[in-house]
Structure 1
């Protein structure tokens, strides 16, 4: 399938009507730590989606093509702390592009969008984590100017 022109992609706050496509995209790109631990029905994600969209410290976005199909998604979280005189940090999470649209610049558009939001919030930085298995993503983030500055640790509770 041909890639979308990025000029025809728009990014907006995700709506409940986007949830099915968002779930399909994020589960298709799931790293092994999540495989077989997710729900089988996209409707089971509705409470989490509602909580995320109602949270003042977080948002979820959808990248839509000219046919209003979701071709990408990401979540953004605003974190407060003492460092940097209390300026917020922005954490970008769950960045996914639909498999048939990868390489078309949609990920770059979404990351630029997140950085724009961070600047408007006077954030001191944008941070993210990427699963070790997703080497293509690592290269992508490095190209965008992100630096691998920390080691990350997780302890699964599910």
Structure 2
């Protein structure tokens, strides 16, 4: 998957997707992306997954399994950084990725799947709602600058 990192980084940098941190990625990409991928790869509760059509990467998402003490020690699947190449949208890629993630969450004993989505991504919100996700909480973030 490391060979696909430059493409994925460019996907996450698409301006209308609301990601400001990865704007204008340089070539070659910063080593921090490969370092992050390596850390995710070694964590059994984390995975960066890609979707392919005819051998070409067209989408990706990160799946993290959280273990709670609350909820009777239940597990929650967190889906983040969902992206589909604009040229491959409306072909079922996103739905296939999300349905796979939901089934993997069930397989791993999770009682809930949750995700966050930037408020500017209104099309994505309609997509998630169509899959059964409910906007039940208001998310909050605190940026920590280095």
> Which residue matches 2:3?
17
Separation in 2, partners of 1:34, 1:135: 20
> Which residue matches 2:62?
75
Alignment of 1:128-143 (within 5 A): 128-143=115-130
Name structure 1 gaps, 5 residues minimum.
1-14
Deviation of the 1:82 alpha carbon: 2.1
Paired positions, count: 142
Deviation of the 1:20 alpha carbon: 1.7
The structure with higher relative contact order (CA 8 Å, sep 6+) is: 1
> Which residue matches 1:62?
50
Separation in 2, partners of 1:100, 1:154: 31
Alignment of 1:8-47 (within 5 A): 15-28=1-14, 30-31=17-18, 33-34=20-21, 36=23, 39-41=25-27, 42-44=29-31, 45-47=33-35
CA contact (8 A) 1:18 1:62 kept: no
Deviation of the 1:39 alpha carbon: 4.5
Name structure 2 gaps, 5 residues minimum.
none
Report the 3-state secondary structure (helix = DSSP H, G, I; strand = E; otherwise coil) of the residue aligned with 2:60.
Answer: strand
Separation in 1, partners of 2:135, 2:66: 19
